[in-house]
Amino acid sequence: MGNTLQHSIFELAQSDPDARALGFYSGDRTCEWVTRGELAASASRAAGRLTELGLEPGGVCVQVPYNDRFAVDVLLGTVAAGGLPLLVAPPAIQGLNSSLPDILHGIIARTSAPVVVGADTLRSMEDDLTARHPSTQFVFGEDDFGSADPVEHWADRSEDDLAGLQLTSGTTGFPRICMWRQRNVMAALEGMATAMAVSSDDVYLNWTPLYHDMGLMNNFMLCLTRGIPLVMMSPFEFVKRPASWMRGVFDTGATITWSPNFGFALAAQRVRDSEMEGVTLDHVRGFWSAAERIHYETIVAFKERFEPFGLAPDAVKTNFGCAENVGGATFTPPDEEVPVEHVDATVLHERQEAVVGGAPESTVPVVGCGKPHPGITIHILDDIGRDLPDGHVGHLALDTASSMEGYLHDPESTAAAFSGHLLKTGDLGYQRDGEFFWTGRAKERIAVRGRKIDPSDFEAALLPIADLRTGSFAAFGHDDARVGTQKVVIVSEVRDERSRPVADIKADVKQAVFERLGVGVDDVVLVSSGTLTKTSSGKRRHRHFAEMYERGELAPYEIV
């Protein structure tokens, strides 16, 4: 099999079948462990069933997963059969604007997927999808995967074969599909493991979903190919009870765990002392923050909240990655704390330079996202592709062994993603002494009276407003020919337990943004929970909701 996912996972199961592989942590604080041998056996049975359904090596199995045992069996069964897993966010994640049927239709049309697997709750879609795709087998529910005849051998794949497909940011339209080759996936896993200095002594706990490359690659595949025990927890459990993250880390002895920035903010705000009784965190060496902008205020709040429970000062780490690079690219070194630079706000926004220093009221904090793992070199380029010196904001490009092959059936987007051998991520940032500092997304910047502001800059201003849902917002510019610049629009979800009048919340938003950024907000739109869905890779869809705003399709929050 060579250096492939199939070889790595199967060989570990054969070498030590009784070792712990996966644990499933539940709200009652119990963890059900599955051994490597048990996991390989159930994957072989799932592969047998998928083969019966028509999945062949190189064929696509589309899956709408939750973080449960059935999802794992189907995912690994696809790998064992030599198929290409393509995971899609379930409608409960996609929220009120769920377009899952249309997304599945588009994916099947592009991939000619012979098999689609999802939970029983999706069965209502079956008749319509079957009518549109008669050659595709749809399985909603566990069917008889557990009793199928197992495949005798896992598929023999080579380093040049595709390993899987991954949806990436569909911020305004249908999401693109990254193609990952085996050699690039294995290079990514090797680079990430080296950067974090992981070993078989570690235990991971992951609540981030498998359809996200952070959950799939940085956690699931890294652990299974390195022999590291991985505890899985439902993202719904975390959102419902953020303290379950801390309790799970303690109960399972996890040393490494991951979350987007909003998870750190939610934990700092909502975990009560009574929920932490008996819990200590001194054994955790990596609380990794990734997948969205990392805010200095969030890191400070998280550290202050959990320091009394043993959280080490250097335990909070940061990472930057993207699906186009098969997971994480930059990492805080194991023996270092996350660096934060307080830079002159005016110079940053107007001259695109990060100049450290100045009066506190005139600076903004920028959090370091780590240093590139051993298989990557970072370039910061100007608008015509020339390398910029340290401290100058430009376009991020990666010289990387873990790059995607390209976007499936999309040569135009593939060509735009590369400059020679460099992968262009669409992100903006700067370097300082090897550290990468992320400052925004190139296509989402708002132009206001000569300033260019990234939508993520607004998050720190919105975080303290109690009646807003943490991290659930969109910010964009609305062209106004009359004044010759863009108006600033903020759309934010309101907490279900709203305590104040909507007019007061809007006033707070405008005041907080002006005090933080010196920018006037022209319109504040408050919407119900679940409206502002993110992309399958976890990014906010600022441009998508800007288009909805232009068309008058954003339903304002209804005052009950």
Q: Are the C-beta atoms of 525 and 485 separated by less than 8 Å?
A: no
- Give pLDDT, residue 356: 97
Q: Give the integer Cα–Cα distance in Å for 94 and 291.
A: 17
Parallel/antiparallel/unpaired status of strands 256-259 and 204-206: parallel
**Interval 125-156: pLDDT, tens:** 999 999 999 999 999 988 888 889 999 999 99
User: What is the per-residue pLDDT for 95?
Assistant: 44
Q: Say what the pLDDT of residue 171 is.
A: 42
Task: Write the DSSP assignment of 465-528 as a string of letters.
Answer: -TTEEEEEEEEEEEEETTTTEEEEEEEEEEPTT--S-HHHHHHHHHHHHHHHHS----EEEEE-
Tell me the residue type at 222.
L
Coil/strand/helix, residue 101: helix
pTM: 0.87
pLDDT value for 285: 98
pLDDT tens across 393-429, in order? 999 999 999 999 999 999 999 999 999 999 999 999 9
Q: How far apart are CA 165 and CA 209, in angstroms?
A: 16
pLDDT tops 70 at residue 9 = yes
Q: What is the pLDDT of residue 552?
A: 85
Sign of torsion, CA 8 11 13 18?
Answer: negative
The residue type found at 165 is L
Predicted local confidence at residue 425, as pLDDT = 95
Average pLDDT, the chain: 91
Confidence of residue 57 (pLDDT cuts 50, 70, 90): very high
| Mean pLDDT in residue range 283-293 | 94
Alpha-carbon distance values, 295 to 256, 276, 318 (Å)? 20, 24, 10
- Residue 366: closest CA among 355, 350, 382, 379: 355
Asked whether residue 484 carries a pLDDT value surpassing 70, the answer given is no
Annotated domain spans of the chain: 5-240, 338-439, 445-550
What the block records as the tokens of 274 is 């009574």
Per residue in 184-214, pLDDT (tens digit) is: 999 999 999 999 999 999 999 999 999 999 9
**What is the structure's pLDDT at 517?**
82
CB contact at 8 A, 546 and 489? yes
State the maximum Cα–Cα separation within the chain, in Å, rounded to a whole number.
71
First-to-last alpha carbon distance for the chain, in angstroms, is 60
* Cβ atoms within 10 Å, residue 56: 12
pLDDT of 560 > 50? The answer is no
Topology at the third CATH level for domain 338-439: Luciferase; domain 3 (2.30.38)
5-240 CATH, one of 3.40.50.720, 3.40.30.10, 3.30.300.130, 3.40.50.12780: 3.40.50.12780
Residue 207: per-residue pLDDT:
96
> How many residues belong to the chain?
560
CATH number of 445-550: 3.30.300.30
